[in-house]
Amino acid sequence: MSDVVHEAPRGGPDDAVVARLSRLDRFLPVWILLAMALGLLLGRVWPQLVESLDSFTVGSVSVPIAIGLLVMMYPVLAKVRYSETARVTGDRRLLGASLALNWIVGPALMFALAWLLVPDLPEYRTGLIIVGLARCIAMVLIWNDLACGDREAAAVLVAINSVFQVFAFAALGWFYLQTLPGWLGLETTSAEFSLWAITASVLVFLGIPLLAGFLTRVIGERVKGREWYEETFLPRLGPWALYGLLFTIVLLFALQGEAITSNPLDVVRIAIPLLAYFAITFALGMVLGRQLRLGYAKSATLAFTAAGNNFELAIAVAIGTFGITSGQALAGVVGPLIEVPVLVGLVYVALWARKFFPSAQGAST
């Protein structure tokens, strides 16, 4: 992002939310919608682009999308004060709540919504369940930063999600696509999940920028000092997160531009459970954080890490298992179509909700 959210002064609860954002971030929804439109247009008028992008891979990792995600995540991870991570891991309430929302509530909620709202569309239903299993390890850092969430807590929770993702994704996929539907007398779905593909996705999309961000802060502070690093270097680095985000969105929507524009009613059917999912999980995170007295910053982080999904992993798994033109892959691509504008809106909701937290005035974020 640009310098993302102005850290000071912290306005009172009556201040306009938009005034707390930098000029570049103030129009973030506009840039995102334009990127979506450009991606859809490219996919529609230049179908050869899909084949070109699909062929430019290393293993199961799309190189163009990986580049965009790396550029997007690196500036945000370079902002994290890694020396404070012990403070986060020592907060058992935050860790317990995050694990419960991400790995118990989130997948179960998406399973229920998929079966309730698209019971007659098995491909889309399966795609939605896969999206629900892929916990967010990327864009949540952007939304959390915009909402003045706890950066160090977000980085730690994202790392924990990544570890769980490697070991739990395949098992949860088997449970929600095979075992649980069988217990309930519902139709089952057979899918082979590649543990290596999941591991490679996590290592590329999180491991590389995390290591780069950590080394940048350590070396930068050691050579120039923290004041220079945070007041001079980070503001210059910040806008690259937005550039990476927009580039990634263009590529993702170009991949299935023709499918999206040719099947608008199907997109609406997929969008309804996604909208419900994002709203419910975000609300649960904020309410639970307040009940646990985590403070605004950690509550916002809890809410966004619960609401966001790792759509790049969901798309990769859907394409690798069912094919690039499958309904499962389309459901994965519709994920960011809905998630991006909705979570941008929830950034504003979160900032507005600060007044309901006891530490809203002058709280450390």
Q: pLDDT value at position 138?
A: 63
The neighbouring-strand residues paired with 21 are: 5
Q: pLDDT value at position 332?
A: 82
Three-state secondary structure call for residue 190: coil
Q: State the Cα–Cα distance between residues 333 and 169, nearest whole angstrom.
A: 19
Provide the strand spans (E) within the chain.
Answer: 57-58, 61-62
User: 102: which DSSP letter?
Assistant: I
DSSP 4-66: -B--SSPP-TTS-GGGGB-HHHHTHHHHHHHHHHHHHHHHHH-THHHHHHHHSEETTEEHHHH
- Binned at pLDDT 50, 70 and 90, residue 289 comes out as very high
Q: Is the dihedral of CA 205, 206, 211, 217 positive or negative?
A: positive
End-to-end Cα distance, the chain? 17
Among residues 113, 114, 117, 131, which one has the least CA distance to residue 173?
A: 131
What are the angstrom distances between the C-alpha of 310 and each of 7, 31, 51, 55, 136?
Answer: 27, 21, 23, 22, 4
Determine contact, residues 14/255, Cβ cutoff 8 Å: no
Tell me: the pLDDT tens digits for 203-231? Answer: 777 678 888 988 999 999 999 999 999 89
Tell me: the pLDDT tens digits for 24-62? Answer: 666 776 787 888 889 888 877 877 776 777 677 766 567
Q: State the Cα–Cα distance between residues 51 and 10, nearest whole angstrom.
A: 48
Determine contact, residues 333/253, Cβ cutoff 8 Å: yes
Among residues 343, 316, 348, 347, which one has the least CA distance to residue 329?
A: 316
For residues 224-252, give the mean pLDDT. 87
Tell me: the pLDDT tens digits for 256-279? Answer: 676 677 778 888 999 999 999 999
Look at the pTM and tell me if it is higher than 0.85: no
Q: State the Cα–Cα distance between residues 156 and 151, nearest whole angstrom.
A: 9
What token pair was written down for 172? 């949860």
Tell whether the model's pLDDT for residue 361 goes beyond 50: no
Cα angle, residue 16 at apex, residues 10 and 17 outer, rounded to 5°? 70
What are the angstrom distances between the C-alpha of 270 and each of 114, 136, 332, 345, 347?
Answer: 9, 19, 9, 19, 23
The burial of 163, by beta-carbon neighbours within 10 Å (0-12 exposed, 13-18 middle, 19 or more buried), is given as exposed
Tell whether the model's pLDDT for residue 282 goes beyond 60: yes
Q: pLDDT value at position 16?
A: 46
